[in-house]
Chain A
């Protein structure tokens, strides 16, 4: 598991615009399910890519599952040339998502996110309704149990 506190502090200290999505966002809303990685949607602007690199470079990001020795530079040019990156870092696994299916990019999602403070950082996280909608849109059987829990959480908040 990612050193979540350290990761969020690094992103916050660098001023990265990001939104927590996936299992960590679900946990923040009250889900009891365990997740192994952190998924964030990041803003694609060059200034934000620079902040992202500054925040994570010391964690030696490398493509998760790639054979050792594969040339990979974690820099602005690499981030600009790609979109979604599944990475391993010294802080743990992290998925940097420029876009998510059914949800779009940072700019699309920011209106569907809420802000909460954790570890001294003001974190954006996807709201429950959108988390559910994205998982429902994906239609993956592996998500059904998670959707069921998220909908119970949503209904408790009403």
Chain B
């Protein structure tokens, strides 16, 4: 990336790396299911972090 890239150009570069299979999976769900998945995933991460911190 060279200096002077516009935000548009930078965002287009980021789009190449977006995992669209995850988007496809999310779009199969209802809004409630999407929010529930977010809540459950974040809770799982928090639990893992807590367990990891306890072992340090």
Measured CB to CB, the residues of A under 8 A from B are 1-5, 8, 24, 27-28, 30-32, 34-36, 116-119, 123, 136, 139, 144-145, 147-149, 151-153, 156
Contacts and interface: CB of A to CB of B under 8 A. Distances in A.
B18 interface: yes
Main secondary structure of the interface of B (DSSP, over half): helix
Contacts of A144: 7, 10-11, 14
A64 B15 CA distance: 33
A6 to B, nearest CB: 10
Contacts of B48: none
A119 B35 CA distance: 9
Nearest to B15: A148
A158 B14 CA distance: 20
Nearest to A157: B27
B29 to A, nearest CB: 8
Contacts of A136: 7
B36 to A, nearest CB: 7
Interface residues of B, number: 28
Contacts of B39: 1-5
Contacts of A139: 7
Contacts of B42: 1, 34-36
A118 B32 contact: yes
B26 A32 contact: yes
A27 B11 contact: no
A149 B11 CA distance: 9
Contacts of A152: 15, 18, 20, 23
A34 B35 contact: no
Given A34-B45, A136-B7, A5 B14 contact: no
B31 A24 contact: no
